[in-house]
Amino acid sequence: MANIGTHCILEMYGCPAELLNDEQFVTQAIREATEYGLATLMGEVSHQFTPQGVTALGLLAESHISIHTWPEYGYAAADVFTCGNRANPQKACNFLLERFQASRHSLTKLVRGPEACCDPDDAPRLEVEPIALAEPVA
Is 128 part of a structural domain of the chain? no
Tell me: the pLDDT tens digits for 23-44?
999 999 999 999 999 999 999 9
Segments forming the whole domain that contains residue 73: 5-113
Task: Residue 60: give its domain's CATH number.
Answer: 3.60.90.10
Is 77 part of a structural domain of the chain? yes
Query: Which residue is catalytic, options 8, 15, 83, 93?
Result: 83
Predicted TM-score of the model (pTM): 0.82
Residue 83 appears among annotated catalytic residues: yes
Is 97 part of a structural domain of the chain? yes
Query: Which residue is catalytic, options 63, 64, 93, 118?
Result: 63
Contacts (Cβ under 8 Å, ≥6 apart) of 127:
none
Tell me: the pLDDT tens digits for 74-109?
999 999 999 988 999 999 999 999 999 999 999 999
Distance CA 92, CA 16 (A): 20
Domain count, the chain: 1
Is 132 part of a structural domain of the chain? no
Contacts (Cβ under 8 Å, ≥6 apart) of 132:
none
Is 24 part of a structural domain of the chain? yes
Query: Which residue is catalytic, options 68, 93, 105, 118?
Result: 68
